[in-house]
Chains A and B, each alone.
Chain A
Amino acid sequence: MGNEKVLQVNQRIYPLESVLATAFVFIDECYVFLDKPEKNSISVRLRGKPDTTPEAFERVVGEFENELLNQTLRLKVSKRTEKIRDAIVHRALYSSMPQSMDLGLDDDDDGDYLDDPLGIAVPWEEKYSKEDDKEGKETE
């Protein structure tokens, strides 16, 4: 296959979250396939889409590597600033909330704000999680 590159990503430097976030960003640019041939390493296979020129594909690969670093840094920023972000948001919301805030709703709902009887907000993963580890065979 012409436009194809396999990157071996060191997980000690780039955690799984960063690899997944980076893969997600590039879904529209190229085909991404992840595998884990050995401990502490993720194999990322990038394949050009049918109309991608070799030059464009090279650029995508370079951008993918840069984005991997960006995503790892973002993760780090997020973790290092998590507490202060919470403090800012809590203080802001607490100070803004009217003393007698009443949205016209009873507040005796006992935290059911995520009730979703129609299942609209339920991710597929959760909906079908029972089948996740099940071994078996199905045909579509």
Chain B
Amino acid sequence: MALGIDMLKGKGLENATPFRFGKLGDQMLLTNEVGEWAVLSNEEFRQFVKGELPEGSEKYEELKVKLFYRSDEATQQLSQKYARKNAFLFSGPYLHIMILTLRCNEVCVYCHASRRDMKETSYDMTPELARVTVDTIFETPSDSITIEFQGGEPLVNWETMKFVLDYAVEKNRVAGKQLEFSLVTNMAAMTDEKLAVLMEHNVQICTSIDGPKEIHDGNRHLSGGSSYDQAVYWIQKVDAAYQARGLDPDLYHVEALLTVTRQTLANPRAVVDEYVRLGRKAIFLRPLNPFGFAVKTFEKIGYSADEFLDFYREAMDYMIELNKQGVEILERTAAILLTKILTPFDPNYLDLRSPCGAGIGQVAYNYDGTVFTCDEGRMVYQMGDDAFQIGTLPGSSYKELLESAPVKALTVASTLEANPHCMECVYKPYCGVCPVYNYAQQGGLFGQMPTNTRCKIYKAVLDYLFGHLASGNEDLLDIFRKWTIVRDRSVFFMHD
């Protein structure tokens, strides 16, 4: 039965807690502020809204347990759950991205405008600037600090990276924070000596694998060699090094990142197979972001949201099929969303929270001392627009950085309650907007969600996940629950 005008006169809302709803196939999905959800037939939904769902019926009890019915107990529980889901609001920035250099030893088809040749050493962050940067980072009130090294290729500025690793550890002897390091590298400049230092500092290493060798090498050109061979060689060595330190290889291994280009779209299964073959447990299927491409480049490697989604769904179907056969492989975006959907926790993924992490969850420190709300803001800067610059080091105090106009503007613009479309969206409890993306794609921080590609993609991914969840298939639910398990990261903390 379709919804009817009679529903507008129902009494049921007097007994309901705040909820959102949206069509899910021929059913209705209900969610609430803390991420609880239920799938109702249209008739059940009509009865719920009109206050006519029989007390004691299965659906009534489900909705009651999931806190869709009003009571003092429900209000109290909703408050507690809301606090837990939004715990990230009460800490300062924890992710500090240091762009150690713009130089890179590879040339990638999707690389942003910022890449510089290897001989251009003036695009390196100096150790002196790195010291000031680390001093600023340690002013965060957050108990956790993750320093992420990015570039260009960060390993080519080894002197500064080594300095930061040692200096941050030294500073933390007094600060006593949960200090972690991560490195995003193409591995081509890795050596045994560097690896030994990275292991000594418990650095988590991420690299790129764009799929099978021919796709990877086609995307990423390494002068005089194969970028794929380099990456795979070092993935195995780093994994072995983790193992040598007594870490469970199922949980601790090099994370590989995939950049999906037009060339990848036709090969979802091949990409998944490649990751499984390399022993990876996760694939992060993300569309290209709109920063820094020439129109010609995008025509060559870009694609529409629908094309990406076809690829995504096929890859997901295949991963589910493999999981059913006992192969452990998960999709990272799905895992983040499923953690929000199926657990009481929020994984604090900075791109999918409200407000987003720009400035209040992460800060990006450029090689030249310019400081940005986030890495996306830094990419916009490399395109010649400093809208998201929040200061310069040395010079800007921590207070000035966090109180800067862009941080405030992005916080307001990424608060979903301020967005007319997001506010009423059934997926609001699980989602987040990126104002920098909106700015780059649509010319305004708030964006227009009905025509926003990022919104379209996340909605479709959530449709896909809820479509499966609504099926009630227990085997599938078990797989999805496994994907939400968060690994213990404490082994990566740097202690004295």
Contact = CB atoms under 8 A, between A and B. Distances in A.
B83 A114 contact: no
A78 B20 CA distance: 9
Contacts, number: 136
Interface in A68-85: 69-74, 76-78, 80-82, 84-85
Interface in B404-446: 405-406, 408-409, 412-413, 420-421, 424, 445-446
Interface in B72-95: 75-76, 78-80, 82-83, 86-87, 89-90, 92
B424 A21 contact: yes
A128 interface: no
Contacts of B19: 77, 81
B83 A81 contact: no
B20 A88 contact: no
A88 to B, nearest CB: 5
A25 B399 contact: no
B17 interface: yes
Interface residues of A, number: 48
B420 A116 contact: no
Contacts of A96: 83, 86-87, 89-90
B13 interface: yes
A24 interface: yes
Contacts of B1: none
The majority secondary structure among interface residues of chain B is: helix
B3 interface: yes
A26 B79 contact: no
Interface string A87-119: 111011101111001111110010001111110
Contacts of B257: none
A32 B92 CA distance: 43
Contacts of A93: 83, 86, 89
B385 to A, nearest CB: 12
Contact of A104 (B387, B398, B450): B398
Contact of B16 (A28, A81, A89, A115): A81
A70 B413 CA distance: 25
A85 B18 contact: yes
Contact of A115 (B405, B424, B451): B405
Interface centre among A69, A76, A104 (most CB of B within 10 A): A104
Contacts of A121: 408-409, 412-413, 445
Contacts of B140: 104
A91 B86 CA distance: 13
Interface residues of B, number: 52
B161 interface: no
Contacts of A103: 92, 141, 402
Nearest to A25: B450
B437 to A, nearest CB: 15
Contacts of B80: 92, 95
A26 B405 contact: no
Given A69-B3, A104-B140, A116 B83 contact: no
Contacts of B22: 70
B443 to A, nearest CB: 11
Given A27-B450, A28-B451, A115-B405, A84 B18 contact: yes
Interface centre among A13, A70, A87, A88 (most CB of B within 10 A): A88
A121 B20 CA distance: 27
B358 to A, nearest CB: 12
A1 interface: no
A66 interface: yes
Given A74-B21, A85-B18, A66 B70 contact: no
Given A69-B8, A103-B141, A115-B405, 14 more contacts: A13-B8, A27-B450, A66-B2, A69-B3, A72-B8, A78-B18, A84-B75, A88-B18, A101-B90, A104-B399, A116-B408, A116-B409, A120-B406, A121-B408
Interface of B: 2-5, 7-8, 13-14, 16-22, 33, 49, 70, 75-76, 78-80, 82-83, 86-87, 89-90, 92, 139-141, 387, 398-399, 402-403, 405-406, 408-409, 412-413, 420-421, 424, 445-446, 448, 450-451
Interface of A: 13, 21, 24-28, 66, 69-74, 76-78, 80-82, 84-85, 87-89, 91-93, 95-98, 101-106, 109, 113-118, 120-121, 123
20 contacts: A25-B450, A70-B21, A70-B22, A72-B8, A73-B3, A73-B8, A76-B8, A78-B424, A81-B19, A87-B79, A92-B82, A92-B83, A95-B79, A96-B86, A103-B92, A105-B403, A115-B408, A120-B387, A121-B408, A121-B412
Instruction: List 3 tightest A-B contacts by C-beta distance, closest first.
Output: A92-B82, A120-B409, A81-B18
